[in-house]
């Protein structure tokens, strides 16, 4: 997970990541996520392959993405003989989402790109059936709408539930991050609060309403109130 804020955008990715290396911890997280043998799992920012290795032991298929050339080459060497592991070099945000069947996401993602990654994973196309992200606690709370709803939480809540499922110690990573880190679970709602066909309309509504207010709405206006206002002004689905 790059710390570009401190290292700078020009810093090599291989020296600006916080690697989760403890096998016992990784296995515990995989159990929490309920990953199974039949699963196809996408890993964003595979790094040195510590998580990739454990995913390969648990799941049928692992699609690992790594933007750093040297780390990507290392991963390909590590998993050259593993039939179920595919390593893709490049920026995940520039790659298409898998379109060949159900998949899940389990990743230690770049903190600086959390919003972009979640936007892509939860957007239209072929979204995953389950999302587990190791990310900064502050970002996780923002997507949960804690302490008050934000634009990020308002756009997510009609279609997904967000829950922190695990809190890390900073020493779980090498090097240790300067922020608190958690495991965030994003789960599609079995019955969304709005039809997917009205998603763009709802997003435009929230964007328009927030231009008249603070970009971070106060806790006085709850998500359910925004939803009811949208339904009343635009007509119920």
Q: Exposed e or buried b for every residue in 147-177, given b needs 16+ CB within 10 A?
A: eebbbbbbbbbbbbebebebebeeebbeeeb
CA gap 199, 95 in Å, rounded: 23
Query: For residues 109 and 117, is the Cβ–Cβ distance under 8 A?
Result: yes
Identify the H or E element spanning 167. Answer: strand 160-167
Show pLDDT as tens, one digit a residue, over the chain (237 residues). Answer: 444 444 344 444 444 478 999 999 999 999 999 999 999 999 999 999 999 999 999 999 999 999 999 999 999 999 999 899 999 999 999 999 999 999 999 999 999 999 999 999 999 889 999 999 999 999 999 999 999 999 999 999 999 999 999 999 999 998 999 999 999 999 999 999 999 999 999 999 999 998 876 545 554 789 999 999 999 988 765
Please state which CATH number belongs to domain 4-188: 3.40.50.150
With H, G, I as helix, E, B as strand and everything else as coil, classify residue 170: helix
Give ∠ CA 179-48-187 in degrees, rounded to 5.
60
- Segments making up each domain of the chain, as ranges: 4-188, 196-234
Query: For residues 163 and 184, is the Cβ–Cβ distance under 8 A?
Result: yes
């Amino acid at each position: 997970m790059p710390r570009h804020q401190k290292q700078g955008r020009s810093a090599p990715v291989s020296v600006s990541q916080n690697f989760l290396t403890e096998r016992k911890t990784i296995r515990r997280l995989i159990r929490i996520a309920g990953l199974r043998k039949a699963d196809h799992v996408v890993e964003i920012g595979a790094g040195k392959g510590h998580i990739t290795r454990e995913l390969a032991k648990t799941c049928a298929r692992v699609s690992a993405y790594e933007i750093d050339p040297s780390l990507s080459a290392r991963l390909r060497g590590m998993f050259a003989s593993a039939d179920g592991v595919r390593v893709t070099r490049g920026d995940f945000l520039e790659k298409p989402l898998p379109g060949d069947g159900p998949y899940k996401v389990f990743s230690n993602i770049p903190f600086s790109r959390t919003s972009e990654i979640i936007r892509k994973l939860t957007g239209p196309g072929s979204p995953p059936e389950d999302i587990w992200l190791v990310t900064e606690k502050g970002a996780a709370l923002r997507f949960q709408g804690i302490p008050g709803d934000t634009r990020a939480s308002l756009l997510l809540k009609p279609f997904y539930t967000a829950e922190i499922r695990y809190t890390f110690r900073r020493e779980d990573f090498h090097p240790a991050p300067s922020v608190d880190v958690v495991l965030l679970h994003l789960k599609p709602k079995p019955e969304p609060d709005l039809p997917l066909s009205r998603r763009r309309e709802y997003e435009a509504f929230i964007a328009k309403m927030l231009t008249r207010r603070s970009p971070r709405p106060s806790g006085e206006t709850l998500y359910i109130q925004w939803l009811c206002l949208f339904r009343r002004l635009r007509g119920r689905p």
